Chain A
């Protein structure tokens, strides 16, 4: 079986928002809404750290990381369970999707989603440009919408737009059931987190945090399964993974950002509207 999943290397992510905007472009996400938000894990506001500016000239306690967050495509998706009309469903390949013709706008799914991944069209959606790409189904006023892993692209053998457009090679898409896929390898080899693991949702989005991976350089928008060679200018599978080569680092300065594996994944407060 095919079971699509996404790995996001937060050590590589530079918070550039290319994925957020690519998503908006590809999927005609209405103005005022984002399916994919690049959250700052740190201070209260975008691009601000937690901790305090060092007063002693040391590296201090400041910490900041980016967490791109969209629908996690949970194996055990709460949104699917609560939908009274079966508008939200899980495809055979694991992608969670919405049938907009069935959606009655009750928003139970939004309440059920612990990741605040869904947005609701309170008004007639407004797009720029007005017609959008035409690549995806139009969504009317009164329905809920969210990330589809770009299923319309996946069906054509193409990676999701956010993956293709990441300049940091930080997003890797592929088949979690294929042991040879990069997503499977990275989940095995690196410390990865799923958001809110204790909820039992078993998201198919996995976050690398701690040791940086080589990411997945892309020269094509084709999915990995459609390519002969994963990393066109590296050594393919040999490239995965490299042990940290040095341990002589720290001195008194050392690494100043927390790389403990038990750092709690950051999840935005539910109810902020899904577009902060």
Chain B
């Protein structure tokens, strides 16, 4: 951009222009903002005051999206306006944090996309939903809160009477780490509605769980204050300095400064890779091969941790050669147990039962006959299995130099405690659970559990408010769960049962974030009622029948959990009263509860709700929390995995004789299985490029899309593409391209980027429809999930790329305009 383009900013950002941009029926929709703007203009600076430094009211609160920050912040307010945001050190001051997004909240609080009033789709009624009226062209009219809640409650009651309560879905996303979701789930339980089951980012954790007994999302790991003790950190498939650990960057940097080796395994030369001592440029989908090669090296070098293997793993456990099952203690000893397994003592070959957390002179390798049964140790099986994966053998397949594979794992195995910090990205490949299994076992070999300096995930555990099952009252009869990925089947085809209405909070998933977006939009069209509560006019909101406006976080009182972030619970003090008619989700939930006959189950005010929930957590005191703003949960262990593992044997499974199978592959030992990254994938020629959607520093999922300060740095969606891939298609740097496959297309600007491996392209996730010239990145992704991993595989996607058609209207992004003059005339709000 140039210096003299200030003009367009005013054109774009003044409330009047933006109202037209929203494409909404009801011109009054944005009137509130315009009025507010007038007030602003009226209160000019006091000419006697040079600087308001130190003059503002400062309210401590907390930023609350689904990121790894949960940053306690100070909000500066003057004349009834939010002026500035700064980080506020929490109780344990070393967790001071904030990022470019949280620091820009003044842009979000007053953005024209804020929802102001309850709205109803003009052509919707409970009896005649007119599904075709949904979508980009839908128009809305203002209704009162009572009207909106009456309509929703009446429809829910009639569906319950006709089709059962499970015909209504209560969908909650992750867009707000406050406690309203608890009340939402409580009402869902009482009503008996269908409830959501997450199929996002559970892949790697499920695999890790098969080995260690823990993990659903990524496993817990040592709190970040301990990371400086790591001697080797292998960041695997994660740009943690951009998207996950950004707020705790200082912790990783401190480790590096202390002398830790930082290894980054990634097909992309990321910001994190640029800080690494060693970068392994793995090909997409070959991570399991690579980890098996690392195991190979550990066996070959003999650098496995013998004591750890004997004490905390089933490495010494005997596997029967006849059945492939572990030899049970009950088979060998009269008083033995079916749960216990057996090893032999080195030298004497005497069989002994393996107890959890118990060291002994157990043989780690070899073949033994016990009671006439021929056996070999689990570790022998693993060693023989990985014999096929020598670094030199997998180098070409994985794209990683063999000696660098050895170097990376030698650092992990020989430099003292360290760890592997994998990401959710690995789980965004269909069979990502196998990686979870593999690295859990690799760290079992190197003995990296339970010590200072161990790392098991790319974000730490953090603290969650323990509410002791409040969301499921004892006398409730909760309905069934349906997985995110199965929503379309349920809504369209009635499989496993027909969902006829949905009430959604804290989520922009259906319209923006779920893969195969057009399929989810079809699913919405099959509903009789779609109720969406949100802070902003998102793509999902544009598809709603009833819109419930939620205030900005600064206008809601709440208690915020810091899961995956830091070990504090934070109090979200209200900075200002809700603007317009926006109301806390709890207002709507309680209002519906009253109408549905469950009013008595819900405290009258949000404050009372928070008191009730806080009282259920022994580590939290409501008054202390409210007063301090943050309270460190003292019962959160800094070092994880110090006790017996929650597996049958209390030990890490180095061999899984009860393993699931998938597509003919059994996971008793880690075995690579690929979907679209496979070299022989059937449509690889048709769609030759793998397509990922990296999480950038400029977005938390689809939140913060509207920050104008940030958009000056990061103006529009782009396609990161290696110059060789671009040139082969006649694509110039900065040219608009059409990215397509058999599901859909999008048009974005090509960005030559040597950081991206040839054959791999990327568009950062989190953009809204209005940001694309055509289509959307989730029109390209698919909704197939592995039955074991049960996770949407956003990155396991293939596309083709070609120059965009000549007749493309690029006005939106012309003349280096971050938000675009075109935004004024296009129907930018909903689609």
Contacts and interface: CB of A to CB of B under 8 A. Distances in A.
Contacts of A219: 89, 93-94, 96
B4 A43 contact: no
B404 A53 contact: no
A128 to B, nearest CB: 6
Contacts of B713: 17, 20, 38, 46
Contacts of A17: 100, 697-698, 710, 713
Q: Could you say which of A119, A215, A256 has the most chain B C-beta atoms within 10 Å of its C-beta?
A: A256
A146 interface: no
Contacts of B99: 16, 18, 167
Most chain B CB within 10 A, of A26, A47, A168, is at A47
Interface in A115-130: 119-126, 128-130
A205 to B, nearest CB: 20
Interface stretch (B310-318, B518-526, B542-550, B749-757): B749-757
B565 interface: no
B257 A213 contact: yes
B261 A249 contact: yes
Contact of B253 (A12, A132, A161, A274): A12
Interface stretch (B80-88, B115-123, B618-626): B80-88
Contacts of B722: 53
B7 interface: yes
A122 B754 contact: no
Contact of A58 (B94, B401, B698): B401
Contacts of A215: 250, 253, 257
Interface of A: 11-12, 14-18, 20-22, 24-26, 30-34, 38, 42-43, 45-54, 56-60, 62-66, 119-126, 128-138, 152-153, 156, 158, 161, 164-165, 167-169, 212-215, 217-221, 232-233, 242, 244-246, 249-257, 273-276
B719 to A, nearest CB: 13
A227 to B, nearest CB: 13
A199 B37 CA distance: 47
Given A53-B755, A133-B76, A253-B278, A14 B6 contact: no
B97 interface: yes
A11 B274 CA distance: 10
Interface residues of B, number: 98
A232 B538 CA distance: 43
Chain A: interface secondary structure? loop
A54 B275 CA distance: 17
B743 interface: no
Contacts of B96: 217-219
Nearest to A33: B3
Contact of A53 (B13, B106, B242, B757): B757
Nearest to B753: A48
A21 B710 contact: yes
Given A20-B713, A130-B37, A133-B52, A32 B1 contact: yes
A43 B94 contact: no
Given A17-B697, A18-B99, A64 B755 contact: yes
B709 to A, nearest CB: 5
A159 to B, nearest CB: 11
Contacts of A221: 86
Contacts of B751: 45, 48
B249 A167 contact: yes
Nearest to B282: A57
B40 A129 contact: yes
B271 A48 contact: no
A245 B261 CA distance: 11
A274 to B, nearest CB: 7
Contacts of B271: 14-15, 47, 64, 66
Contacts of A275: 1-3, 712
